[in-house]
């Protein structure tokens, strides 16, 4: 079942203007700097510069670290409830870092009163599949070895990080390791084969098919079936996975990839559709009320599973 989520009160003029400005600036940035022909190294620099303007919750302590031999960033709120959220950033498998997603991770840490471990997993093309999922598994195992109870761990991610979130749960099931309490995905890539893409009438200002293809080509080794469930969890048997919250925008090339998760039998899925929102709009939390609402709904989802 899909739940359409909107603000309880229509956004005012200021919010509408800000939304239009963010949509236009996102469109311009990603059409100019994130496309085939621009190297992943240049794209990484540009994304770090562009995301410096995103609001970061100042009361959260941010410290670099390592977990399971993988670099990470720890975000600790003033009050800690004992839960850990392992966050996997997006970026078409080839760009992004903990620093580029601090608006989301600091918000979840502060308002959820939980520690966030933002993983700096290895990126393609220097490190193609399975480097990134191996890093996620190493980090999760390290959390368990440190004494963190699985029932107090959440795995969350956006876009490519949403793909890694689902694939991590599948690997844990395969290895017989304890599952986390919940999974959260923002606009996840569930199918790297190039199928199940949506063309929203209003356009997706962030995600271009060509750029996603550049990232997938860098990530997937030659000759590997891109419908392999280890790469494309849409084709996996998802029965028995932890409760899953998926949030996706209406103006979103990956909309169909989220909607098709509903076809899975035996999956505990809460799917939320946000009209007029684009790919990973949650990164605008602290600016757009609808992004704040989406993250508040994430925290409510976690509270229902004991994260208080």
State the residue for tokens 């600036």.
25
**Considering all CA atoms of the chain, what is the largest pairwise distance in Å, rounded to the nearest integer?**
52
Q: Is 159 part of the annotated catalytic residue set?
A: yes
pLDDT digits (tens, 9 = 90+) for 255-306: 999 999 999 888 999 999 999 999 999 999 999 999 999 999 999 999 999 9
β-pairing, 84-88 with 61-67? unpaired
Which of 19, 103, 106, 159 is catalytic? The answer is 159
pLDDT tens-digit map of 103-131: 999 999 999 999 999 999 999 999 999 99
- pTM strictly above 0.95: yes
Domains in the chain, please, with CATH?
2-7+60-303 (3.40.50.1820)
What percent of the residues of the chain are helix, what percent strand, and what percent coil, each to the nearest 5? 40, 20, 40
C-alpha span between 206 and 203 (Å, rounded): 9
Per-residue DSSP letter, 284? G
Q: 154-198, pLDDT tens digit by residue?
A: 999 999 999 999 999 999 999 999 999 999 999 999 999 988 999
Q: Where do we find the tokens 């995103």?
A: 54
Handedness of CA 91, 93, 98, 99 (dihedral sign): negative
Mean pLDDT over the full length of the chain: 96
Secondary element (H or E) of residue 147 = none
- Partnered with residue 157 across adjacent β-strands are 88, 185
């Amino acid at each position: 079942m899909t739940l359409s989520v909107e603000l309880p009160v229509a956004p005012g003029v200021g919010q509408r203007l800000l939304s239009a400005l963010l949509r236009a600036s996102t469109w311009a940035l990603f059409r100019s700097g994130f496309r085939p022909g621009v190297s992943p190294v240049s794209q990484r620099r540009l994304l770090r510069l562009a995301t410096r303007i995103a609001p970061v919750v100042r009361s959260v302590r941010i410290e670099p670290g390592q977990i399971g031999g993988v670099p990470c960033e720890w975000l600790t709120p003033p009050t800690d409830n004992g839960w850990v959220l392992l966050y996997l950033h997006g970026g078409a498998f080839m760009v992004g870092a903990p620093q580029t997603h601090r608006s989301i991770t600091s918000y979840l840490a502060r308002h959820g009163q939980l520690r966030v471990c933002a993983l700096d997993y290895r990126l393609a093309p220097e490190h193609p599949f399975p480097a990134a999922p191996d890093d996620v598994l190493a980090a999760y195992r390290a959390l368990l070895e440190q004494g963190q109870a699985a029932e107090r761990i959440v795995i969350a991610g956006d876009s490519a990080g949403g793909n890694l979130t689902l694939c991590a749960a599948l690997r844990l099931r395969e290895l017989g390791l304890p599952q986390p309490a919940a999974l959260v995905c923002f606009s996840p890539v569930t199918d790297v084969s190039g199928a199940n893409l949506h063309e929203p009438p209003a356009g997706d200002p962030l995600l271009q098919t060509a750029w996603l293809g550049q990232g997938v080509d860098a990530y997937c080794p030659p000759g590997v079936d891109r419908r392999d469930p280890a790469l494309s969890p849409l084709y996996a048997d998802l029965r028995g996975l932890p409760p899953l919250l998926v949030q996706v925008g209406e103006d979103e090339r990956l909309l169909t990839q989220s909607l098709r998760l509903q076809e899975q039998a035996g999956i505990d899925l809460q799917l939320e559709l946000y009209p007029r929102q684009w790919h990973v709009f949650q990164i605008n939390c602290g600016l757009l009320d609808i992004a704040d609402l989406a993250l508040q709904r994430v925290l409510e989802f976690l509270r229902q599973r004991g994260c208080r």
